[in-house]
Structure 1
Amino acid sequence: MARRPRLLPAVGTARNLLAASLEGLLADPAGAGERGTPADPTDLPLVLVACSGGPDSLALAAVAAHLAHTGRCRVGAVVVDHGLQAGSAGTAGRAAAAARDLGLDPVEVHRVTVERDGMGPEAAARGARYAALDDAASRLGAVAVLLGHTLDDQAEQVLLGLARGSGTRSLAGMPESRGPYLRPFLDLRRADTEAICAFYGLDPWHDPTNLDPSYARSRVRGEVLPFLEDRLGPGIARALARTARILGQDADLLEQLSAEAYASLRTEGDDGTVLLPEDGLRSLPAALRQRVLALAALELGAFQPSFERLRAAESLLDRKGSAGPVQLGGKVSVHRQVRGRSVLRGQPSYGSLVLRNNGSSNGPGGQQLRRPIQE
């Protein structure tokens, strides 16, 4: 009898990380039949893997397939073809075939159109990708969508945030979970996923844009992070990922406090505006005040305003100089309500900052908060 190959430590770690990430979402193993196979597999919860065919997502698909074999869930895959590279359809087809060979079902390929709409190419591609994943998860009734980001991706994200001069949420990197999206491999190195692919005999696709120096992320990956590890020690990537985890906890608390403050201050005007009382805003710490202003802008349809735009909006509270408007992006502006002009019918509204979407007749009640585009 041939000996079974010894389990690679990285594979065992990856399996444990995935099981922990899906805790509470899987079927009870006590309900499984002989050899862990349930009587009716269609009753099992469905988990989808976002699979590009690269080492990270292919390793995740292989580990998830093992979990499906235990009879606690079904595992499928969604491959998104952005159509941005020559031969992208063939690459997507090979990724789908690899997922099917691993036993994943259903496996779907989604061809998307990437529309810039004022965003950079990477952000636009992310937006199109998440729209496709959202659609597939909703239509198929998936309990979770697995993303293959690793500790190295997290470290790169923190460095990019530092280079942009970003705030707490950006420096917190990518969350382990957000809604149905889970990132079980944030404690694994990229070398681990490559080793997992080799263990399973998989031939992953290597995205050529990862080596293209015209992309900031590629320069961080190929030049900056290796330089830092050479000069500061090989633990720098793990230290950056740990920083992201710490800041993520801080950002969660600040967002909770900001949402509570916004709910207590917000008033809706008769013409679809959002009013925030100046005295209430002044009483808040700067960290919360800026977040409250950002929440109002997001509700009215803007993208996340920059720090400089939020500071300009804050300056209206000084009651010096112009009463605005200050543009917050996405055709959303804010101005200080001047004496004698009412926003609320029959009520004086002097003493408020007024935010409006100048490009839409819809009131804020018909808007949805825009979800920040994540890696």
Structure 2
Amino acid sequence: MAKKALGPATLAVVQAVEAVADAPLLVACSGGPDSLALALAAHIAAARRGVDVRAAIVDHGLQPGSDTVAATVAEQLAGRGVSAVVLTVTVPDSPDGTEAAARQARYAALEAEARPDELILLGHTLDDQAETVLLGLARGSGTRSLAGMPTRRGVFVRPLLGLRAAQTAQACAELGVEPWRDPHNDEPRFTRVRVRRQVLPLLEAELGPGIAEALARTAGLARRDADLLDQLAADHQLPAVGAPFAVAELAGLPAAIRGRVLRSWLRAAGATDLSATHLDAVDALLDDWRGQRWVELPGVRVSRRGGGLWAESSTPGTFGPQD
């Protein structure tokens, strides 16, 4: 009996995976439409390419019965020939919020589970990319934020960034599987949910169709620019930790490069959670110097004296003479 032809949506997902399936694959699968379609398409693509594939379901323990959901997803995948493992994580309290803490815990668990030769596939779609760009725009945090999610970073690969969420949902229907619907995806207290349910549909209604695709294109263009600027900044040698950064040297850099160089220098000195506002305050020590005493940042205190900028522990101490 001839094999049943793949439906158009399933074929699109399989082809997206085939474009990156040059190594064994570990698919992160929550059981939702995007990741379930990805896992099953990866199973097909891996068979065609002669590589191994398996799945990992991360149980964050944030909802009652999450362990049951994870076990059910693993059974569903096993019934389709995809071996799966459930990874249980603890999500700590974080000033960045539950979503960010859960993401960090999930990625750490996936990296720990992955074998040395495996790529970790993530099910983010073009819709997710559009949401990410809008959130970055709302934060006003610069080109890198507008660049969205990369197709590949280290062992993490997002093969579905060119596909819409409607296609992954249709692929699940074509494959005859029922995805799990995460109730958190309908919780308006989450900013991303409001963007997905309210902001993007409003933009589509008021500005016309194609907004999500336009935002995804913006991400690609911004990423190219940000990558170049990051490389130019990385080529600039930083002073040794504990040494001052010459004001004249910094002031002579183009603003787009200077901000990146400052961020790298401050991080090396121990600064954390740097925002654009923090960097603007430090930049003012260069081009708007009025004898201000210092700038407090998370983890460090930056002062200007002796023709240089000094980044020192924010613990009160002795500071030398100012310019």
Q: Above 0.5 in TM-score? A: yes
> Where does residue 214 of structure 2 map in the other structure?
239
> Where does residue 204 of structure 2 map in the other structure?
229
SS at match of 2:62: coil
Q: Deviation at 1:59?
A: 0.4
> Where does residue 112 of structure 1 map in the other structure?
89
d(CA) in 1 for partners of 2:273, 2:13: 34
> Where does residue 159 of structure 1 map in the other structure?
134
Q: Deviation at 1:170?
A: 0.7
> Where does residue 65 of structure 2 map in the other structure?
87
SS at match of 1:268: coil
> Where does residue 18 of structure 2 map in the other structure?
19
> Where does residue 355 of structure 1 map in the other structure?
311
Tell me how many residue pairs correspond in the alignment. 314
Q: Deviation at 1:51?
A: 0.8
User: Structure 2 vs 1, CA of residues 300 and 124 (structure 1 numbering), >3 Å: closer, same or farther?
Assistant: farther
d(CA) in 1 for partners of 2:76, 2:296: 48
Q: Which amino acid aligns with 1:283?
A: G
User: Structure 2 vs 1, CA of residues 274 and 304 (structure 1 numbering), >3 Å: closer, same or farther?
Assistant: farther
SS at match of 2:94: coil
Q: Which amino acid aligns with 1:322?
A: Q
User: Structure 2 vs 1, CA of residues 81 and 288 (structure 1 numbering), >3 Å: closer, same or farther?
Assistant: same
SS at match of 1:21: coil
For structure 1, list consecutive stretches of 5 or more residues without a partner in the other structure.
27-44, 339-349, 360-375
User: Structure 2 vs 1, CA of residues 334 and 101 (structure 1 numbering), >3 Å: closer, same or farther?
Assistant: farther
Question: Does the alignment pair 1:125 with 2:102?
Answer: yes
Q: Deviation at 1:358?
A: 4.5
Q: Which amino acid aligns with 2:300?
A: V
**What CA deviation, in whole Å up to 9, does each residue of 1:68-100 have, x standing for no partner?**
222521111121111111111111112222232
> Where does residue 322 of structure 1 map in the other structure?
292
Question: Does the alignment pair 1:210 with 2:193?
Answer: no
For structure 2, list consecutive stretches of 5 or more residues without a partner in the other structure.
316-323
- Within a 5 Å distance, the mapping from 1:278-297 to structure 2 comes to 278-297=247-266
Would the aligned equivalents of 1:310 and 1:328 in 2 still touch at CA under 8 Å? no
Q: Which runs of 4+ in 1 moved over 3 A?
A: 3-6, 300-304, 356-359
**What CA deviation, in whole Å up to 9, does each residue of 1:192-218 have, x standing for no partner?**
001111111111111111111111111
Q: Deviation at 1:220?
A: 0.7
SS at match of 2:244: strand
> Where does residue 301 of structure 2 map in the other structure?
333
Deviates more, 1:148-157 or 1:121-130: 121-130
> Where does residue 29 of structure 1 map in the other structure?
none
d(CA) in 1 for partners of 2:272, 2:109: 20
Q: Which amino acid aligns with 2:10?
A: V
Would the aligned equivalents of 1:297 and 1:328 in 2 still touch at CA under 8 Å? no
Q: Which amino acid aligns with 1:290?
A: G
d(CA) in 2 for partners of 1:328, 1:291: 16
User: Structure 2 vs 1, CA of residues 327 and 134 (structure 1 numbering), >3 Å: closer, same or farther?
Assistant: farther
SS at match of 1:267: coil
d(CA) in 2 for partners of 1:300, 1:91: 44
Would the aligned equivalents of 2:10 and 2:175 in 1 still touch at CA under 8 Å? no
Give the TM-score, by structure 1 length.
0.79
> Where does residue 51 of structure 1 map in the other structure?
29
SS at match of 1:219: helix
d(CA) in 2 for partners of 1:222, 1:151: 15
Q: Which amino acid aligns with 1:178?
A: R
SS at match of 1:99: helix
Would the aligned equivalents of 2:15 and 2:45 in 1 still touch at CA under 8 Å? no
Q: Deviation at 1:4?
A: 4.5
